[in-house]
Structure 1
Amino acid sequence: MNIPFLDNWRRRHGRPSVAVLPSEVDPDGVAELLSECELLRSQAAAAGLELDDSARSLEALDQLLPRWRDDPEELPWLGNDAGLYLGTMIVRTVPGAAWQVWPNGKPVIRLASGREIDVVGAGLDWAATGAPELSQMYAEASEG
């Protein structure tokens, strides 16, 4: 995964600075890492929105004026964070949902039904075009 704060997080938590296989990482550590979403949180705060890990915060994100689209360098990072935030919300609130890291390092959400959701891909699409809405993706995941 190419997440800019990853090396700092790994140093803070005593993790190696190279990618490790999912079997070597505890699920709580992965969830903590993926929930940081620093860029998204700072953009939301600048717009007067506090991301409180609620479904309401996803709805509020969907309503933000997408100023990040003016910056082609920032857009993919913000989209990545949006997807990770969405995934974090699903894992914390949908029974049986968990992070799954594919062999290529891509994080997805696996629902209790076995369905996998590419939340990072959804976040990138949301950042670039506004669709799918994060709140809609969350609602669909909540239904199973």
Structure 2
Amino acid sequence: MNIPFLGHRHPKTGKAVLPTDPEGVADLLSECELLRSQAEQAGVRLDDSPSSLEALDQVLPRWRDDEEILPWLGNDAGFYLGTVIVRTVPGAVWDLRPAGPVVLLASGREFDVVASGHEWAANGVPELSQLYAEVAES
């Protein structure tokens, strides 16, 4: 996954240089502008809480017919899910990797929130609130 705003290219190697400030990374990943816009249009306020994931699961998925918006919304849904996990599950942190960000849990388990966001955006299952509940239990 290429997320250009998360880093810059090293001038000699051309490889991505990812930021190391955990709070800065968390702030960038929490923006989710497209998802927040879609949610707002549906009357849902995203406040980075587990209950907002439940509300998102109830939104009519008008985006599924739009091939252009679907991948972006999937990314945003994954970033938002990760944001809620990192902000509410003790010990959960973002881990930026060349293939894309994952959430690391205190137990050592890794959670690919972006893949989960894409599944949710395309199919509605598993529900974001269900994924959060599974992660919060571990």
The TM-score with structure 1 as length reference comes to 0.86
1:129 lines up with 2:100 in the alignment: no
1:81 lines up with 2:76 in the alignment: yes
Q: Structure 1 residue 3: deviation in Å?
A: 4.2
- The residue that corresponds to 1:96 in the other structure is 91
Q: CA RMSD in A?
A: 1.7
- The residue that corresponds to 2:63 in the other structure is 68
The whole-number CA distance in structure 2 between the counterparts of 1:32 and 1:63 is: 25
- The residue that corresponds to 2:37 in the other structure is 42
Q: How many residues align?
A: 133
> AA paired with 1:127?
A
- The residue that corresponds to 2:22 in the other structure is 27
Q: Structure 1 residue 25: deviation in Å?
A: 2.0
> AA paired with 1:138?
Y
Q: Structure 1 residue 96: deviation in Å?
A: 0.6
- The residue that corresponds to 2:137 in the other structure is 143
Gaps of 5+ in 1: 11-15
Gaps of 5+ in 2: 10-14
After the TM superposition, which segments of 4 or more aligned residues of structure 1 sit over 3 Å from their partners? 1-4, 16-22
The whole-number CA distance in structure 2 between the counterparts of 1:127 and 1:82 is: 7
- The residue that corresponds to 1:13 in the other structure is none
Deviations 1:29-56 (A, max 9, x none): 1111100000000000011111011111
Deviations 1:58-81 (A, max 9, x none): 001001110000100100100100
- The residue that corresponds to 2:2 in the other structure is 2
